[in-house]
Amino acid sequence: LDYRKVRRQDVTAPYGLERYDPAGKRWVPVGSRFALELDKGEGVLLRQADGSGGKPNLRFGVVSDIHFVYDTQGIVPGFGPETFEKTLRWLDGQGVDAVLVCGDLADRSLCEEWQSVADAWFRVFPNDRGADGRKVERIFITGNHDWAGHLYGTNVKRIFPDEAERAKHVMRNDIPGWWKKVFHEDYRTVFRKDVKGYAFIGHHWEGGNWEASGFKGLEPFLKSGGGRVANSHDFRNSRM
Determine the length of the chain.
Answer: 240
Contact 3, 38 (CB under 8 A): yes
How much is the pLDDT for 6? Answer: 45
How much is the pLDDT for 179? Answer: 97
Query: What DSSP state is assigned to residue 134?
Result: -
Angstrom CA distances, 42 to 15, 24, 28, stand at 20, 17, 17
How much is the pLDDT for 62? Answer: 93
Strands of the chain (E only): list them: 17-21, 26-29, 46-48, 60-63, 70-71, 74-75, 98-102, 137-141, 190-195, 198-203
What pairing do the DSSP bridges indicate for beta strands 74-75 and 98-102?
Answer: unpaired
pLDDT in tens, 111-136: 999 999 999 999 999 999 999 999 99
Helix (H/G/I), strand (E/B), else coil: 93: helix
For the chain, the first-to-last Cα distance in angstroms comes to: 14
Distance CA 111, CA 4 (A): 36
- Identify the segments of the chain with pLDDT beneath 70: 1-17, 30-55, 208-215, 227, 229-240
How much is the pLDDT for 49? Answer: 60
111 contact partners, CB below 8 Å, separation of at least 6: 169, 170, 171, 178, 182
Tell me the whole-structure pTM to 2 decimals: 0.73
